[in-house]
Copies of this chain bind each other. A is one copy, B any other.
Amino acid sequence: MAEQVATNITWHDGTVTRDERKAVLKQKGCTVWFTGLSGSGKSTIAVALEQVLFQRGHVAYRLDGDNVRMGLNKNLGFSAEDRAENIRRIGEVCKLFADSCVITLSSFISPYREDRDQARSLHADGDIDFIECYVECPLEVAEERDPKGLYKKARAGEIKGFTGIDDPYEEPESAELVINTAECSLEESVQAVLDCLEARGLLKAD
């Protein structure tokens, strides 16, 4: 084995380039940033999309409340300051994953335009595709779904500062993609994101 390294390896001065990463992964890294009300369907779409991407041989990774709020951001609460820091760190981690050439799927309510724009600008600095995907859903539909029973608690005053009830959701003004889950099936929603990735040439190396 020692021989192999000495004879077969070209030592580069620099680091692995983005093009070398693309070639090995046969895709380009990017971040798909799902934003929308609780219950709008962000995670459902992200989970299904990740499955389809893997079935097609692509490499994706989801960042969501489960693996971020319990780990990296477990020392953050829900004050305005902590919410902003929560999204800031998620934006930075998305950028690292996207830089590594993984198709990064982030699903957080991320209600404030300013926070989302900050995540976008981080990616722009690194010349990395950032696809803001607004998972649109009328409040009454999301509240009717209420998969985690959170709207009920918010209406009962047991949760304060809940997005859509007593805290604002600022709709994206120029999202790359808008999916209305009150009108689209899950298959159609996933296909819409796939079409967007395809159209941007992100599912191939060059």
Q: Which residues of A contact B (CB under 8 A)?
A: 1-2, 5-6, 8-12, 14-16, 20-21, 24-25, 47-48, 50-52, 54-55, 57-63, 67, 71-72, 75, 85, 89, 92-93, 95-97, 99-102, 122, 187-188, 190-191, 194-195, 198
Contact = CB atoms under 8 A, between A and B. Distances in A.
Contacts of A14: 47
A161 to B, nearest CB: 23
A14 B190 CA distance: 16
Contact of A51 (B16, B89, B93, B190): B16
Contact of A52 (B9, B101, B122, B195): B9
A72 B72 CA distance: 10
A15 to B, nearest CB: 5
Given A93-B96, A102-B102, 9 more contacts: A5-B52, A9-B55, A15-B50, A16-B54, A21-B54, A24-B57, A24-B59, A59-B100, A61-B100
Contacts of A6: 187
Given A20-B54, A93-B93, A194-B1, A15 B59 contact: no
A10 to B, nearest CB: 7
A11 B67 contact: no
Contacts of A12: 51
Contacts of A20: 54
Nearest to A90: B72
